[in-house]
């Protein structure tokens, strides 16, 4: 999130750019909030009031809110969100349970790294949607393929980040540990593992985003339940307001879980917070 708040190349300009750059953090947040409000009002105006765009294709904020209320009051939201939640959490837990130990093993043993690494990268490079029809054929039409796609989407960023973290442990810290007489086990516990922690959380953050994409893809293409199923049903019946409301909820989930990972990281690994001097 920091990129657009960065000062950027100094082009020696004045005016509004300089004014914005000179704002305090709170001032910037206020300007941003105002922008969001302006954007929403404009959207409402163009689609809802002036009708320049067909509201079926691009419903205004008020209609999306209406759609949300409809989903809520009919109980559709609760049942489907629960199914998605269950699939997401199960898949993610499987990914974590496989990814962390295997990543640590790859980081510890060079032969494992050289065998698992290329295979993992090859699978990771392929969008997981390619595996969806197989998952459907193997696991049926229920929650099974959704869990599979979430897990396979999330496991590789975790695995590869943990392995990379172990492999890139600062050699001079390892040397320091050796000089102070650390045993192999002490070195592992006091040097390798802590320096892998930031990588693990980076991997988890990527995994959250990819797992959510995997979940939506799986639910869109062959699941009777879940948020993806709500979206596609709503779209097929031209209730785009409901579709947008469901999409918004998925976005909130994805962003929320990323924040959760960041909060856990701050708690577990306070040293990774950026220095403010």
Give the whole-angstrom CA distance, residue 54 versus residue 207.
Answer: 36
CB of 235 to other proteins, least distance (A): 4
Where are any strands of DSSP class E within the chain? none
Instruction: Please tell me whether residue 84 binds other proteins under the rule CB under 8 A.
Output: no
DSSP string over 8-55: -S-----HHHHHHHTS-HHHHHHHHHHHHHHHHHHHIIIIIIS--S-T
| Choices 9-17, 41-49, 72-80, 91-99; region in contact with other proteins by CB under 8 A | 9-17
Would you count residue 25 as binding other proteins (CB under 8 A)? Answer: no
Give least dist CB 131 to other proteins, A: 6
Q: Is 77 in the site for other proteins (CB under 8 A)?
A: no
- What is the rounded (10 degree) CA torsion for 97, 100, 103, 108? -120
**121 lies in the site for other proteins, by CB under 8 A:** yes
Taking CB under 8 A as the binding criterion, the range among 43-51, 75-83, 92-100, 131-139 that sits at the site for other proteins is: 131-139
Which tokens is 76 given? 């559709």
Residue from 132, 223, 225, 242 touching other proteins (CB under 8 A): that is 132
For residues 210 and 161, the answer to whether their CB atoms sit within 8 Å is no
Compute the distance between CA of residue 72 and CA of residue 81 in angstroms, rounded to an integer: 11
Note whether 152 binds other proteins by CB under 8 A.
no
Draw the binding track, 33-72, toward other proteins (x: CB under 8 A; -: no contact): --xx--x-----------------x---------------
Residue 263 sits in the site that holds other proteins (CB under 8 A): no
CA–CA dist 156, 100 (Å, integer): 10
Over the window 185 to 224, marking each residue x when it contacts other proteins by CB under 8 A and - when it does not, the resulting string is: -x---xx--xx-xxx--xx-xx--x--xx--xx--xx---
Radius of gyration of the chain (CA): 23
Which H or E run contains 89?
Answer: helix 76-108
Verify binding: residue 1, other proteins, rule CB under 8 A.
yes
Per CB under 8 A, does 176 bind other proteins?
yes
- Supply 248's token pair: 């918004």
Nearer to other proteins, 60 or 203 (CB): 203
């Amino acid at each position: 999130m920091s990129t657009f708040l960065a000062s950027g190349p100094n082009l020696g300009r004045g005016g509004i750019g300089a004014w914005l750059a000179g704002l305090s953090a709170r001032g910037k947040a206020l300007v941003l909030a105002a922008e969001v409000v302006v954007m929403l009002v404009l959207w409402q105006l163009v689609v809802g009031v002036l009708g320049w765009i067909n509201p079926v294709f691009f419903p205004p904020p008020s209609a999306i809110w209406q759609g949300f209320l409809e989903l809520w009051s009919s109980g559709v939201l609760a049942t489907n969100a629960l199914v998605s939640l269950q699939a997401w959490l199960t898949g993610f837990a499987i990914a974590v349970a496989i990814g962390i130990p295997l990543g640590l093993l790859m980081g510890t043993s060079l032969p494992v790294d050289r065998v698992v690494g290329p295979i993992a990268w090859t699978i990771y490079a392929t969008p997981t949607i390619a595996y969806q029809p197989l998952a459907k054929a193997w696991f049926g039409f229920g929650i099974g393929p959704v869990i599979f796609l979430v897990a396979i989407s999330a496991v590789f960023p975790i695995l590869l980040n943990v392995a990379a973290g172990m492999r890139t442990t600062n050699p001079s810290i390892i040397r320091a540990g050796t000089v102070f007489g650390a045993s192999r086990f002490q070195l592992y516990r006091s040097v390798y593992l802590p320096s892998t922690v930031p990588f693990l959380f980076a991997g988890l953050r990527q995994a959250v985003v990819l797992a959510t994409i995997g979940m939506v893809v799986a639910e869109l293409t062959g699941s009777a339940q879940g948020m993806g199923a709500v979206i596609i049903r709503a779209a097929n019946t031209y209730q785009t307001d409901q579709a947008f409301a469901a999409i918004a909820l998925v976005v909130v989930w994805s962003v929320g879980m990323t924040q959760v990972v960041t909060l856990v990281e701050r708690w577990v690994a306070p040293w990774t917070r950026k220095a403010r001097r």
